[in-house]
Amino acid sequence: MEEMTTIPRILDGIAIAGQIKAEVALEVQALAARGITPGLAVILVGEVPASQIYVRSKVKTCGELGIFSEMLTPPDSITTAEMLALVDDLNARDDIDGILIQLPLPKHVDTKRLLEAVAPDKDVDGFHPVNVGRLQSGQPGLAPCTPAGIMEILRRSGLPVAGQNAVVVGRSDIVGKPVAMMLLNASATVTVCHSKTPDLGKFTCAADILVAAIGRPGFVTAEMVKPGATLIDVGINRIVDPEEVAEFFPNDADRAATFAKRGSVVVGDIHPAAFAKAGAYTPVPGGVGALTIAMLMQNTVTAAKLRRGISHGIFQEKK
């Protein structure tokens, strides 16, 4: 008798992002009925093409959902002091609920100082030490967008988290550390691994939920994955070597066509061959990355509500 194989479930980040955006639009409408329009300010320094594309997408999404947005574009010659003054002005404005500083900043600008200058209640990136502390202690606040998106994928896909062995590969302040804390807060048993972890496969092979956020193309191989695991691939790595494309995507006509047209394709931190062993996985592209802007919109609305003492739901106010 032949052994039955299970087809891995693809976790569609684009569809889940669409659900979240639709919910945010309803929240914005309910706030509008009370005379409140959530506002997001984005600071984009200099002329970085990738950042410009990303910021335009954020501003466009704000318009689609009814969120007021303002883009500030100082030159890359701006000083740290001038940037701090800009942030102070936005902190004081009542029509701005969220402030986002698009990274990376020019090398001469003190990024850490600027991120800490953003008022915690307007920190829609969730990077301020106050919000990091709130996340660590399980208090409501503004959480980093990509990790929050990962948790939404798991929740909305009906995948269990409580009691699961979760392994996070990567320890960045932006993804690795916060997603580990969120998984822990959701009652998973969490192990954080990184580039200095010896015998990494010993840990990843025990993972029911494996989050790869290390920034290395195809770093997690099929041999490092537990059969039936949920694989969350945060990596977006652009590859331009035709031999690498053939190695990662053998016999993939669609990827070959994309490479022929653009001269590059993207691959995650998990080798595509590993997905065949998974119970469920996020594709690259179309997985975790699709959630980041949706969660930014959600954070902007959450900030608007929290700043006005509106909690839990649109019509529940703090006493």
Q: Supply the residues annotated as catalytic.
A: 58, 102, 125
Report yes or no: 295 and 246 within 8 Å, Cβ to Cβ: no
Counting Cα atoms < 13 Å in the Cβ hemisphere of 140 gives 10
Please tell me the distance from the alpha carbon of residue 287 to that of residue 153, in angstroms, as a whole number: 9
189 contacts 215 by C-beta, under 8 angstroms:
no
What does the chain come to in residues? 319
d(CA 22, CA 100): 22
d(CA 75, CA 201): 46
CB-neighbour burial class of residue 278 (10 A; exposed 0-12, middle 13-18, buried 19+): buried
Please, what is the end-to-end C-alpha distance for the chain in angstroms?
Answer: 66
How many CA within 13 A on the CB side of residue 255? 21
Pairing of strands 98-101, 189-193: unpaired
Task: Please check whether residue 240 is in contact with residue 264, taking contact to mean a CB–CB distance below 8 angstroms.
Answer: yes
The two structure tokens encoding residue 28: 């914005």
CA atoms of 295 and 293, how far apart (whole Å): 5
Type of residue numbered 307: R
Contact 121, 303 (CB under 8 A): yes
